[in-house]
Amino acid sequence: MRVGIDIGGSHVGIGLIDSDKIIDTIDINLTREDRHDFFGSILRISISSINELLNRNSIDLNSIDLIGIAAPGDIRDNKIVRSDNLGLYDSDIAGKIYEYFNIPVQVRNDAKCAGLAEMKFGAMRGFNDCVFLGLGTGIGGAVFLNGDLLKNGTGFEIGHMIINKGGRQCSCGKRGCFETYASIRAFKNKVAEVLDIDNDFSGQYLRENLLDFDNPKVREVIDQFIDDLIVGISNMIDIFEPDVVCLGGSFSYYEGHRVFNELLSRIREDGRVRCSKLPKIVLAELKNDAGIIGATIE
């Protein structure tokens, strides 16, 4: 049995996994206070949630053989060396959790975890050449060629590919990165800006209540978001010529939504993608569980 922990900028998911199936999960939304001492909060939440999961499922700590952590940013030597989205640098969260439980702990980039999970159990199953894009606080990426993940450690920071030279300031220090235009956070902030409301609402609230196509200001933001997303996807298609592009993170909940349907029809328009054979564009199947499951894949 294994434990997967998916650390995001605004939320932490902890799951108990048996034979790649999630048995039980705890989801915790981080408050502004939690974010002041991010490392300490993550450590406290992880330890207490693992204990709670074990207790309420009557599982002995000895039956856990691995704790896997999915985190955004650069992961090297089992440490979070740079995560601008979390504000963590040279963080040895795995070491601290190991000290407490004395069980092997592994850390991997969250998009690579989600990509691995989708490849093994979800929407990319059965395909060889795949690009996974996780749209959330930022944009993470994972690329598979001949079924193998390219680079398990750092690299493939697709969200930091510049799509607009000299454009919006990114948390990484560059300007015009893909994720400053096409992440769910960027989308949310733009919608809040044109509606003149506070941006402290969830991705679900955005999707279900705020994306009003009849409001011209919102419509313009939606059109721009779709255009920017297509630019990034088109770049990935021309570089890797994949069989499938899988969109995950919060965007995986856009099944049947007009935003996703318009993306699918507009990407087929002339001049959007150069590649003669357009790959399948699909949404991730495992949704937010992908990170938790993928974190425990060795």
How many whole angstroms from its chain centre is CA 46?
19
Of the pair 172, 231, the CB lying nearest Zn ion is at: 172
Distance CA 81, CA 85 (A): 12
* Rounded distance between C-alpha atoms, residue 231 and residue 292, angstroms: 29
Stretch that binds Zn ion, among 21-29, 119-127, 166-174, 228-236 (CB under 5 A): 166-174
**CB within 8 A of 268, min separation 6: which ones?**
278
Amino acid identity at 37: D
Tell me if 177 contacts Zn ion by CB under 5 A: yes
Of 155, 45, 178, the C-alpha closest to 108 is 155
With CA atoms as reference, report the closest residue to 4 among 297, 294, 292.
Answer: 292
172 binds Zn ion (CB under 5 A): yes
Point out which span in 13-21, 71-79, 86-94, 162-170 binds Zn ion (CB under 5 A). 162-170
Residue with smaller CB distance to Zn ion, 93 or 177: 177
> Residue 66 Cβ, how far from Zn ion at the closest point, in Å?
32
Helix ranges restricted to H, the chain: 32-36, 38-56, 93-101, 110-121, 179-182, 184-195, 203-205, 216-240, 258-266, 289-295
Q: Is residue 175 near Zn ion by the rule CB under 5 A?
A: no
DSSP 160: G
Q: Is 182 in the site for Zn ion (CB under 5 A)?
A: no
Question: Is the sign of the CA dihedral 194, 196, 202, 205 positive or negative?
Answer: negative
Amino acid (one-letter) located at 287: K
Residue 8 or 73: the one with the smaller Cβ distance to Zn ion is 73
Distance CA 121, CA 231 (A): 28
Least Cβ distance, residue 21 to Zn ion (angstroms): 36
Binding to Zn ion by CB under 5 A, coded x per residue (else -) over 208-227, reads --------------------
Q: Based on CB atoms, which residue is closest to Zn ion, 174 or 257?
A: 174
For the beta carbon of residue 18, count every other beta carbon within 10 angstroms: 13
Indicate whether 162 belongs to the interface with Zn ion (CB under 5 A).
no
132-161 binders of Zn ion (CB under 5 A): 160
Return the residue of 96, 174, 217, 266 that touches Zn ion, per CB under 5 A: 174
Q: Of the ranges 89-97, 175-183, 207-215, 261-269, which one interacts with Zn ion (CB under 5 A)?
A: 175-183
Query: Minimum CB separation from Zn ion for residue 82, in Å?
Result: 11
Binding residues for Zn ion, rule CB under 5 A, total 5
> Which residue type occupies 97?
I
Q: For the segment 8-67, give every residue that binds Zn ion (CB under 5 A).
A: none
Is 66 or 231 the residue whose CB approaches Zn ion more closely? 231
Residue 160 or 190 having the CB closest to Zn ion:
160
Q: Which residues would be at the binding site for Zn ion (CB under 5 A)?
A: 160, 170, 172, 174, 177
